[in-house]
Amino acid sequence: MYPNHIIFLLFTLLVCVFPSPAISNYLIGVGSYDSTGPAAGVNMMGYANLDQSTAGIHFRLRARAFIVAESSEGPRIAFVNLDAGMASQLVTIKVLERLSKRFGNLYTEDNVAISGTHTHAGPGGYMQYVVYSVTSLGFIPQSFDAIVTAIEMSIVQAHQNLKSGSIFINTGDLDNAGVNRSPSAYLFNPPDERSRYPRDVDTQMTLLKFVDGTSQKSIGAFNWFATHGTSMSKDNTLVSGDNKGAAARFFEDWFASKTTNSTTFDAQDDINILKEKATAIKATGGQPCGKTTSQGFKVRKNADGSKFVGAFCQSNVGDVSPNVLGAFCTDTGLPCDFNHSSCHGDDQLCIGRGPGYPDEIKSTKIIAERQFLKAVELFTSAKQHLTGKIDYRHVYLNFTNIKVSLAGGRSGMTCPAALGPGFAAGTTDGPGAFGFQQGDTKINEFWKLVRDHLKKPSDYQVDCQKPKPVLLSTGEMFFPYAWAPAIVPIQILRIGKLVILSVPGEFTTMSGRRLRESVKQTLISNSDGEFDNDTHIVIAGLTNTYSQYIATPEEYKQQRYEAASTLYGPHTLLAYIQEFNKLAESMAKGHKIGNKGPSPPDLSSVQLKLLPDPFGESSPPGIEFGDMKEDVSIPKSGFFSKGDKPSAAFWSPNPRYDLLSEGTYAVVEMLQGKRWVAAYDDDDFSLIFKWNVYNGSSYGLATLEWEVPDTTSNGVYRFRHFGSSKKTISSATEYFTGASSAFTIS
């Protein structure tokens, strides 16, 4: 549930959950669906760390969607905020195919945007280009299907819940949730440009509030703010939505606590009675159950998609880190080298520190709370009513050969995709390979031999990418299939005076500022007053596909991580600005797009799948799945207090046999009279589900750990675990549950 120590602050706010009546000028709908992928043995997407594979769930991932339409027959847009590292071209293709079967041409590539939050703690294997699936050992259908289904169902829910309503917009600054992780590169930007901004990161949060026109109740809120999903480190193995996913969980729980008759628990204060009750209740042992049984134990049931949806969306996040204490050397404790973010030449020793350092879960919570509190402030004070047209523009671009205009009448070209050695160095959020540093402009002979064995870059590529030295010429690598995208989408969505720029990558702070400013000026200068200085421009990062980073030409010169990962060469940003301005001019003048560009490939038929499915397993002799391996260890006092961490371990097979979507692997139940009621599940920040193989054997263990929140009622509790198994790879899936002995909280 939402953090206790901020309750007092929240009550001091004027909680305008029920705003004054407003004109209902749109059809609005929101939806949300579980997108949690395999919780064991699947490499995580984000850090490209071969050792980082899933081993449990901190809290579940979700796809959250809103739809806005002028009318039932008029223009509409659908926006999905996805708890994932980034959008995937193949995911987008397959989602659109499913939507076409359901709705015809109502939702298409033109008016649907799918934007990743950029958590680095979600399962990988859902991307179609080689460079993004090397560490996941190729394509993982289970990861992919979970994401595609969640996006589809979130849009279906939003569509089914469309109703007359209003949208309010609000903006405000959040100063302590991000720092620039490449400050030396930022300083390469012109001094007069930098002087226009108080910080080297963007601090503005933009929030939309959706209000039902009949009941005048809020049904959802989406906001955009730039900070990386890297509060959880590259050593983390728990599936997590990171700081943005946690902020969404806190926001939705806060709203529910203010507006609904949520489950209340009768606290009991006689500790001796509680202890006596708990002592008498023993573990149940493993018992069979149904495929959907765990769904009935969910704390937040939302089968019809009617619950409030709060989403924290990503923006121009390229160089923004949530590790706000700065980067320090792990061996000396001193600040890292400013230009290279290394420690005496070693990039792996330079690590960013979050505000809860050294506790990454605490850091995640703090950065999440800061975003959540700002969102509550903007939500409760939102008064500006969005009105005006719903509109959209979309085009595909072959980004390997776009001609751009340069100063002095010169021209330049974008290049086939390539990565420089600064990419291999990683960042202060997650250092990369030994022997590389950010800012490297040379490649040693050994790595040149390795590179050339894979693919020697063409002379054209080497020249085109300068001053980036080409470590991997991914745009020229096609075995066993394409390593990097050549064709990428760009998109503009409009809700009245709000314009959303859907970008297929991570723009740095200054790149995002230049894009926003240029598009805004284009809209204003090409319209008859329809757009003006009050027009809001937001960037939705990592949307519809992924093409890595977009640094400014000046930042590109230093070749830190973001510049080395700017795939299409030094003119990448200029090309984006140029092409977005074409869409903006078309929108401002009311013209349709004639040539929508070449369609991206669907590489689903050629994907390599090198990670095997679980082969089937049995429980240890004389043991049933769901039996206790380690029951709750009761303290000498006979009870647990707030802040304590009771735990229990169950014999349990690999959770990949069933993702239990919209269900749960872990529950904390509270005894209410003679009935057990679910109080927490694996979508709560306080309850952690872990899975691992026991002591080198072939048997698995599920461990449930609960940090008792300060808001927990005194009473008798127990753990419950759900899981599934197959005896062989071809046998039917069997489902089970088991509960621990009871324990007391006082």
Active site residues: 321
> What span, in angstroms and rounded, lies between the C-alpha atoms of 353 and 735?
42
Q: Is 506 annotated as a binding residue?
A: yes
221 pairs with which residues across the strands? 209, 310
* Chain-centre distance for alpha carbon 238: 14
Q: Is 5 annotated as a binding residue?
A: no
| Beta strands, E only, 83-186 | 112-116, 122-123, 163-173, 179-180
Return the H-helix or E-strand segment holding 369: helix 360-381
Could you write out the three-class secondary structure of 46-76?
Answer: CCCCCCCEEEEECCCCEEEEEEEECCCCCCE
Question: CB-based contacts of 16: which residues, under 8 Å, 6+ apart?
Answer: 379, 380, 381, 382
Q: Cβ(59)–Cβ(82) under 8 Å?
A: no
> What span, in angstroms and rounded, lies between the C-alpha atoms of 400 and 567?
9
504 pairs with which residues across the strands? none
Strands 26-34 and 62-69: antiparallel
Q: Is 481 annotated as a binding residue?
A: no
> What span, in angstroms and rounded, lies between the C-alpha atoms of 708 and 166?
39
SS3 511: helix
H-only helix segments in 290-329? none
Q: Rounded to the nearest 5°, which phi and psi values hold at 327?
A: -110, 135
Q: Cβ(90)–Cβ(128) under 8 Å?
A: yes
Question: CB-based contacts of 479: which residues, under 8 Å, 6+ apart?
Answer: none
Burial class (CB in 10 A: 0-12, 13-18, 19+), 733: exposed
Nearest Cα residue to 215 out of 18, 506, 404: 18
Query: What is the token pair recorded at 126?
Result: 């859902």
Could you write out the three-class secondary structure of 464-509?
Answer: HHCCCCCCECHHHCCCCCCCCCCEEEEEEEEECCEEEEECCCEECH
Look at the block and give the residue holding tokens 């005496």. Answer: 344
> What span, in angstroms and rounded, lies between the C-alpha atoms of 737 and 625?
8
DSSP 640: B
* C-alpha separations of 678 from 38, 265, 296 in Å: 24, 10, 9
> What span, in angstroms and rounded, lies between the C-alpha atoms of 712 and 266?
11
- Side-chain half-sphere of 317: how many Cα atoms within 13 Å? 33
Nearest Cα residue to 429 out of 135, 181, 86, 132: 181
Q: Is 549 annotated as a binding residue?
A: yes
* Chain-centre distance for alpha carbon 466: 33
164 pairs with which residues across the strands? 27
- Which amino acid is located at 246 in the chain? A
> What span, in angstroms and rounded, lies between the C-alpha atoms of 321 and 337?
17
- Side-chain half-sphere of 25: how many Cα atoms within 13 Å? 12
Q: Cβ(575)–Cβ(552) under 8 Å?
A: no
Q: Cβ(429)–Cβ(352) under 8 Å?
A: yes
Q: Cβ(341)–Cβ(181) under 8 Å?
A: yes
Q: At what angle do helices 509-525 and 572-589 cross, to 10 degrees?
A: 30
> What span, in angstroms and rounded, lies between the C-alpha atoms of 469 and 485?
20
Query: What is the token pair recorded at 449?
Result: 């031999």
Q: Which residues are annotated as a binding site?
A: 118, 228, 506, 549
Q: Which residues are annotated as a binding site for Zn(2+)?
A: 118, 228, 506, 549
